[in-house]
Amino acid sequence: MQDDLFGAPAGSKPAAPLPPPSTHRTSARGVQPAPAGQAFAALAAQLPAGLRMGVSTWSYPGWDGLVWDGQYDASTLSKKGLTAYSQHPLLRTVSVDRSFWRPLTVEQYAQMAVQVPEDFRFLIKCPNVVTDAQVRSEDGKGQSPNPAFLAPELAVQQFALPALQGLSGKLGVLLFQLSPLPWDWLRQNGALLQALGQMLAAVRQAIAAHPQVIVAVEVRDPELLTPALAQVLKTHGATYCLGLHGKMPPLAEQLPLLRALWPGPLVCRWSLNRCFGAYGYPDAQKKHDPFNEIRSEDPSTRALLARTIAGITGAGQPAFVTISNDAEGCAPRSIALLAQAVQAQTQEPLGSPAKTMSAP
């Protein structure tokens, strides 16, 4: 993957206007998709087939008129909104974040699978009992070492196999998000990478009959962005998840690790606008509520991400990109803008920088 892949986009087009927030109120028909969403069908048809975009959860009443046909409470959307969500032309994946807090059962995954079309794919987060080196209190403070950290058997039995058995062909990505590590683990870099490699090897063996499932690792410590991490990931058939938020370097500074893994898929989670800092989720929530419009626009990140997507999918590799409301204020609107930027990139003449992919 060449550096010029990520240069300034050529021939950029102005973004088409997005529909304004709706004032429609719900009926008693259950959760229905917003008719305005079908306005993006033509745009969706022009995007790379291997690109799947989605959000980090789907239970936001503020998406009235964008994803839902009216106002529903969060509880109703959490239980019944997935089918309507999956009917939006631009939303072909979703990040299931609740599995991070507690392992889900085969039955829970199966219930999600029956609510979406055959072409829909899920990105599932591994429970933090496996990916957090510390046992934490309710306020998030580390209390003691976690004896199950990166335990291979636990990763397989409580995460990989239930997700695969419940979702079957609709499983897209198994994501291991490593929580911020205590200094003892960061300075034992070799021990950490050895434990990570053993866990990834066990997971890959468990899902060996399903090579299409992407295994990805996201970190929250910049110190881990090293060639040694890239080697462990490559050895065990995993990729690096671009984590876009204040605790990690900007997108451009994370791309070298992705280049070291080329050729391979793209997994990216745009979680928090960097303007809020490393611990700015409460501030972002306060500013962006009710999450129905762009309030913290980040056009530079969006443009570089679009260019990265175009290059990677242009070489025939799949791409999973999920966006949180905390990125710009409204995830569905961010996705629409990103889709427009990707479409502009993919329409460039063959041989332009955005269409050039090769080994580093």
Q: Which residues contact 45 (CB under 8 A, 6 or more apart)?
A: 89
Contact 307, 5 (CB under 8 A): yes
Contact 315, 17 (CB under 8 A): no
Interval 204-230 mean pLDDT: 97
pLDDT of the residue at 14: 42
Least confident of 30-34, 87-91, 330-334: 30-34
Q: Closest Cα to residue 177, out of 117, 241, 83, 98?
A: 241
The DSSP symbol for 111 reads H
pLDDT of the residue at 34: 97
| pLDDT 10s digits, 256-272 | 999 999 999 999 999 99
Cis? peptide before 290, omega within 30° of 0: yes
pLDDT of the residue at 338: 98
Pairing mode, if any, of strands 134-136 and 121-125? unpaired
pLDDT of the residue at 348: 63
Interval 199-224 mean pLDDT: 97
Q: Which residue has the higher pLDDT, 109 or 137?
A: 109
Residue 8, pLDDT > 80, answer no
pLDDT of the residue at 15: 42
Residue 12, pLDDT > 60, answer no
- What is the spatial distance between Cα 295 and Cα 291, in angstroms, rounded to a whole number? 9
With cut-offs at 50, 70 and 90, classify the pLDDT of residue 347: confident
Mean per-residue pLDDT of the chain: 89
pLDDT of the residue at 255: 97
pLDDT of the residue at 149: 97
Residue 9, pLDDT > 70, answer no
256 located within any domain: yes
- What is the spatial distance between Cα 220 and Cα 178, in angstroms, rounded to a whole number? 6
93 located within any domain: yes
Residues pairing with 145 in the sheet: 134
% residues pLDDT > 90 (the chain): 82
360 located within any domain: no
With cut-offs at 50, 70 and 90, classify the pLDDT of residue 346: confident
202 located within any domain: yes
pLDDT of the residue at 136: 81
Assign 3-state DSSP to the chain and report helix, strand, coil percentages, each to 5.
Answer: 45, 15, 40
Q: Which domain holds residue 64?
A: 3-355
Domain count across the chain:
1
157 located within any domain: yes
46 located within any domain: yes
Q: How many residues does the chain have?
A: 360
Least confident of 10-14, 38-42, 263-267, 270-274: 10-14
CATH number at residue 147: 3.20.20.410
